[in-house]
């Protein structure tokens, strides 16, 4: 993937550019923003080369409002592993998870590597409905996760396994010797100047169970810009480009639209989190193939399009109740993404 150079990095203030002067078709761009408004968005921002091209708020929101981004958090956690890898806290993503999860040291889970958890292909059993009920019986979600057994070898199948994913929280804390909150604050939030960013957690008997991040539209846009720049923020390299390039490569062949906790538009087919049927073609068929996205429940998401030097963030409530004509809406994917993002891409492409 080619990461653009000479981007604008905001400080406490942002540079705001007029869409027409930046090469956008203002009519198409406005149509995309109107579509977002109609679909229960609370906030949307469009960055091009780091400059704000469009920023809109509804439902009482403003630039300082914030809310949960749900599973879009996964991409941020992936990035934190890139930071830990660069700093030497982790030797390699090929390390066995039992190097850090010593509770499994003598188990059959030694073959599971860190990259398998990042790629949702660990082979650990996944039962979303059952896990949601069973987890409440344990003093911590980590203790519940330790009860999971394997049902296939690593990399054989892709499974959107939230319980297995949360093992990464403990691995990162044990590798760095820091709490997830502190490590994220010092190594991501402070360098980027995020102002309304915190981790949501549920306190149980003996543990703080991290779930997802709560942040503003601009905070998430800063993260998207960092990714667009290939891990570079001004003159500081936060992660190596090689880590991001690996993150944006399919982690397995079962669902080639998924990398290291990122959704990829480069695959020839894709699966939704809780459905086994594969859909042919890319996730966002009318958008550039190098598009990558962090997608969260209720259509909270950030899209990064390196070829167009774009970052787009949308926060709000569920945009489309039913996903892809299915009776039960998926918790991450929806029919909102392609119509919304493709209009923004087209508004720039039409001027090129």
What is the tens place of the pLDDT at every residue in 11-24?
999 999 999 999 99
Judged against a pLDDT cut of 90, whether residue 278 lies above it is answered with no
Judged against a pLDDT cut of 90, whether residue 206 lies above it is answered with no
- Is residue 139 a part of any domain in this protein? yes
Residue 16 zone, left/alpha/beta (φ > 0; ψ -120 to 50; rest): beta
- Is residue 255 a part of any domain in this protein? yes
- Is residue 104 a part of any domain in this protein? yes
Q: Single out the residue of 69, 113, 317, 4 nearest to residue 217, CA to CA.
A: 69
Higher-pLDDT residue of 141, 311: 311
What is the tens place of the pLDDT at every residue in 6-60?
999 999 999 999 999 999 999 999 999 999 999 999 999 999 999 999 999 999 9
- Is residue 3 a part of any domain in this protein? no
Query: What range defines the domain where residue 115 resides?
Result: 26-349
C-alpha 202/C-alpha 277 separation (Å) is 33
- Is residue 16 a part of any domain in this protein? no
CA of 271: how far to CAs of 60, 191, 283, 292, 339, in Å? 35, 35, 9, 15, 19
- Is residue 2 a part of any domain in this protein? no
- Is residue 8 a part of any domain in this protein? no
Local confidence band at 335 (pLDDT 50, 70, 90 cut-offs): confident
What is the tens place of the pLDDT at every residue in 68-87?
999 999 999 999 999 999 99
The total number of structural domains in the chain stands at 1
What is the tens place of the pLDDT at every residue in 222-257?
999 999 999 999 999 999 999 999 999 999 999 999
56 pairs with which residues across the strands?
A: 44
- Is residue 309 a part of any domain in this protein? yes
Instruction: Output the CA angle 194-195-200, nearest 5 degrees.
Output: 90
CATH of residue 229's domain is 3.40.710.10
C-alpha 66/C-alpha 103 separation (Å) is 37
C-alpha 64/C-alpha 217 separation (Å) is 8
């Amino acid at each position: 993937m080619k990461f653009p150079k000479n981007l604008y990095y905001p400080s406490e203030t942002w540079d705001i550019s007029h869409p027409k002067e930046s090469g956008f078709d203002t009519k198409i761009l406005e149509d995309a923003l109107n579509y977002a408004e109609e679909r229960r968005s609370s906030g949307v921002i469009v960055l091009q080369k780091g400059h704000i091209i469009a920023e809109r708020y509804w439902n009482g929101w403003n630039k300082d409002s914030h809310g949960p981004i749900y599973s879009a958090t996964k991409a941020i956690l992936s990035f934190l592993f890139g930071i830990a890898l660069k700093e030497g806290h982790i030797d390699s993503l090929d390390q066995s998870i039992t190097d850090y999860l010593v509770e499994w040291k003598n188990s059959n889970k030694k073959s599971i590597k860190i990259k398998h958890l990042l790629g949702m292909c660990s082979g650990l059993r996944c039962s979303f409905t059952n896990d949601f009920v069973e987890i409440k019986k344990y003093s911590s979600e980590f203790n519940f996760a330790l009860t999971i057994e394997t049902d296939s070898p690593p990399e054989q199948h892709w499974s959107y396994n939230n319980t297995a994913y949360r093992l990464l929280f403990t691995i990162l804390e044990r590798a760095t010797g820091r709490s997830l909150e502190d490590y994220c604050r010092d190594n991501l939030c402070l360098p980027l100047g995020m102002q309304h960013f915190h981790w949501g957690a549920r306190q149980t008997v003996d543990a703080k169970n991290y779930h997802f991040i709560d942040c503003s539209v601009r905070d998430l846009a800063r993260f998207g810009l960092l990714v667009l720049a290939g891990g570079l923020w001004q003159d500081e390299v936060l992660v190596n480009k090689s880590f991001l390039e690996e993150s944006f490569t399919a982690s397995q062949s079962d669902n080639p639209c998924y990398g290291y906790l990122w959704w990829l538009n480069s695959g020839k087919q894709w699966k939704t989190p809780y459905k086994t049927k594969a859909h042919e073609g890319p996730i966002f068929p009318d958008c550039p193939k190098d598009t990558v996205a962090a997608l969260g429940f209720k259509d909270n998401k950030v899209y990064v399009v390196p070829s167009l030097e774009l970052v787009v963030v949308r926060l709000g409530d569920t945009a489309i109740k039913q996903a892809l004509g299915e009776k039960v809406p998926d918790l991450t994917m929806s029919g909102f993404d392609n119509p919304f993002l493709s209009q923004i891409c087209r508004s720039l492409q039409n001027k090129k």
